[in-house]
Amino acid sequence: MSFRLDSAIAVLSRTPVVLDHWLRGLPSEWLTANEGEGTWSPFDVVGHLIDGGEETDWMPRARIILGKAGHRRFEPFDMVRHIERNRARALESLLDEFTRLRGENLASPDSGGTVPHR
């Protein structure tokens, strides 16, 4: 399969909706359960998508790849920062934030596309 930006944007724009349908309103024991030490719960995964994906990793790296950053080196990021950062938050607020950030990032001229309105 060849990479196509329009196909990638189609998948990326649907991810918040899918996660919202899967997770919103489930009992907390389903949202916070993990498979043991060093694994993440669904709550943790959404937090990681916000922190690592939308805020500190995805767009800065896209800018580097597209040549819109002043350097060509990926900056390391803290892959578990979201765990402490989101400790007192509700999943619903994370889902809302993820939806907002993903929409903003896809609509950014640096992302190469626009978000389809659904």
Render 20-65 in DSSP notation, one character per residue. Answer: HHHHTT--HHHHH--SSTT---HHHHHHHIIIIIIIIIHHHHHHHH
- pLDDT of the chain, 118 residues: tens digit per residue: 888 888 988 999 999 999 999 999 999 999 999 999 999 999 999 999 998 889 888 777 777 777 766 667 777 878 888 888 888 999 999 999 999 999 999 997 665 554 443 3
pTM here is 0.82
In CATH, the number for domain 5-111 is 1.20.120.450
Residue 13 neighbours by CB distance under 10 Å? 19
SS3 state of residue 5 = helix
What is the spatial distance between Cα 44 and Cα 89, in angstroms, rounded to a whole number? 11
Domain borders along the chain are 5-111
What is the spatial distance between Cα 37 and Cα 59, in angstroms, rounded to a whole number? 30
| CB 54, CB 96: distance < 8 Å | no
